[in-house]
């Protein structure tokens, strides 16, 4: 991969995940800079990955070929204002923010910019992430390849044809690691309530989750229902657990959660 200078504006959770994926895949930390107002997260990134750090967004962006916007959506206007005096015409801007539409960025940065919208997730930090990507017709094949190559260091990439489809990527992959963590939390809480040590309960639940995820991935010809049925003996223990989930309308609950996730992204798109 050609080593472009990449800067991250904002050094929070998602920036850390992407930087980790990049460096672990062999991207030179000398070509990576993170900018953040407070110091501790920057220090941790420098210590863990050897990247350059600064408190100055403009300094970071000046020497960058690629600027990754890693701040919360409500701060995007402020960051755009801060960088608006720079000539950004030769830089590729990648945003990871949920719910800020591509057309808003030219207003924020007060100039036409080359922008690709992405939706990564935190498993990117260990190379098993998924990033949804959207580029308008104005973006060159070269810039698309550059963005894809950078984001693919953290796992799989998936281009969407319409910008609205990124909201489905949020519900399915950007936000969803938190759903699975919630499920594991609930399992561990139940086991602890029954008297098991938390550390043992977590170990068993996490190994079962890992095994289940790998079985799904390694058996693309088996339906999810088949994989579930293979665990579920008639009149047995799993059947009782599954019946309890179904009685609690787990499918309806998941549908509501994902629908509300998408609705929030749509609401944010009007807000920011
Ligand atoms: N977390 C996730 O799983 C995912 C997040 N995203 C998107 O990533 C973006 C960041 O989320 P996340 O990493 O979770 O958030 P974090 O709060 O962890 O990180 C945001 C960072 O931005 C910094 N910051 C605040 N103001 C500025 C500024 N003016 N200039 C530069 N940096 C600034 C904050 O610094 P300080 O703490 O010092 O205020 C903080 O370190 C969001 O837009 C979100 O939608 C997308 C996919 C998944
Ligand atoms: O919760 C959020 O808004 C961000 C986007 C996807 C994951 N975290």
Ligand 2 in contact with 99 (CB < 6 A)? no
Residues comprising the binding site? 9-14, 57
Q: How far is the CA of 123 from the centre of ligand 1 (A)?
A: 16
Sequence ranges of the domains in the chain: 6-160, 176-269
* Fold agreement (6-160, 176-269): no
Q: Residue 2: which pLDDT band, with cuts at 50, 70 and 90?
A: low
Specify binding-site residues for NADP(+).
9-14
Residue 175 Cβ inside 6 Å of ligand 2? The answer reads yes
User: Which tokens sit at 209?
Assistant: 């989750």
Is the Cβ–Cβ distance between 73 and 45 less than 8 Å?
no
Which ligand is closest in space to the CA of residue 75? 1
CATH of domain 6-160: 3.40.50.720
pTM, to two decimals: 0.96
Confirm or reject: Cβ of 79 under 6 Å from ligand 1.
Answer: yes
| ipTM over the 0.95 cut-off | yes
Residue 133's DSSP bridge partners are 118, 159
Q: What is the pLDDT of residues 170-201, one digit of tens each?
A: 999 999 999 999 999 999 999 999 999 999 99
> Using CA atoms, how far apart are residues 179 and 248, in angstroms rounded to an integer?
17
265 lines ligand 2 (CB under 6 A): no
Q: 3-state DSSP call for residue 137?
A: coil
First CA to last CA across the chain, in angstroms? 34
Bridge partners of 116? 94, 135
Rounded Cα distance between 73 and 4, Å, is 26
Query: Structurally, what CATH architecture does the domain formed by 176-269 represent?
Result: Orthogonal Bundle (1.10)
Backbone angles phi, psi at 62, to 5 degrees: -55, -50
46-82 residue pLDDT tens = 999 999 999 999 999 999 999 999 999 999 999 999 9
Alpha helices in 63-197, H assignment, sequence order: 76-83, 102-109, 141-151, 165-169, 176-193
Helix axis angle for 250-271 and 237-247, nearest 10°, is 50
Contact 163, 254 (CB under 8 A): no
Beta-sheet strands, E only, within the chain: 6-9, 32-35, 52-54, 66-69, 92-95, 114-119, 129-135, 155-159
Percentage of the chain beyond pLDDT 70 is 99
User: Residues 215-264: pLDDT tens digits?
Assistant: 999 999 999 999 999 999 999 999 999 999 999 999 999 999 999 999 99
């Amino acid at each position: 991969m050609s080593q472009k200078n990449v800067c991250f504006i904002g050094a929070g959770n998602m920036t850390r995940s992407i930087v980790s994926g990049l460096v672990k895949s062999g991207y030179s930390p000398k070509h990576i800079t993170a900018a953040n107002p407070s110091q501790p997260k920057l220090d941790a990134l420098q210590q863990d990955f050897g990247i350059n750090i600064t408190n100055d967004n403009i300094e970071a962006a000046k020497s960058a070929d690629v600027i990754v916007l890693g701040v919360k959506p409500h701060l995007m206007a402020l960051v755009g204002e801060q960088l608006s005096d720079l000539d950004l015409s030769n830089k590729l801007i990648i945003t990871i923010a949920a719910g800020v539409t591509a057309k808003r960025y030219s207003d924020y940065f007060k100039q036409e910019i080359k922008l690709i919208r992405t939706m990564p997730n935190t498993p990117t930090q260990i190379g098993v992430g998924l990033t949804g990507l959207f580029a308008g017709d104005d973006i060159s094949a070269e810039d698309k390849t550059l963005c894809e190559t950078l984001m693919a260091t953290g796992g799989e990439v998936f281009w969407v044809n319409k910008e609205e489809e990124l909201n489905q990527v949020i519900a399915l992959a950007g936000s969803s690691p938190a759903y699975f963590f919630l499920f594991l939390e609930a399992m561990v809480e139940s086991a602890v309530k029954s008297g098991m040590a938390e550390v043992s309960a977590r170990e068993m639940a996490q190994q079962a989750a890992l095994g289940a995820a790998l079985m799904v991935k390694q058996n693309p010809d088996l339906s999810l229902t088949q994989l579930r049925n293979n665990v579920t003996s008639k009149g047995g223990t799993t059947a009782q657990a599954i019946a309890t989930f179904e009685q609690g309308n787990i499918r309806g609950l998941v549908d509501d959660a994902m629908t509300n996730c998408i609705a929030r992204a749509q609401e944010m798109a009007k807000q920011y």
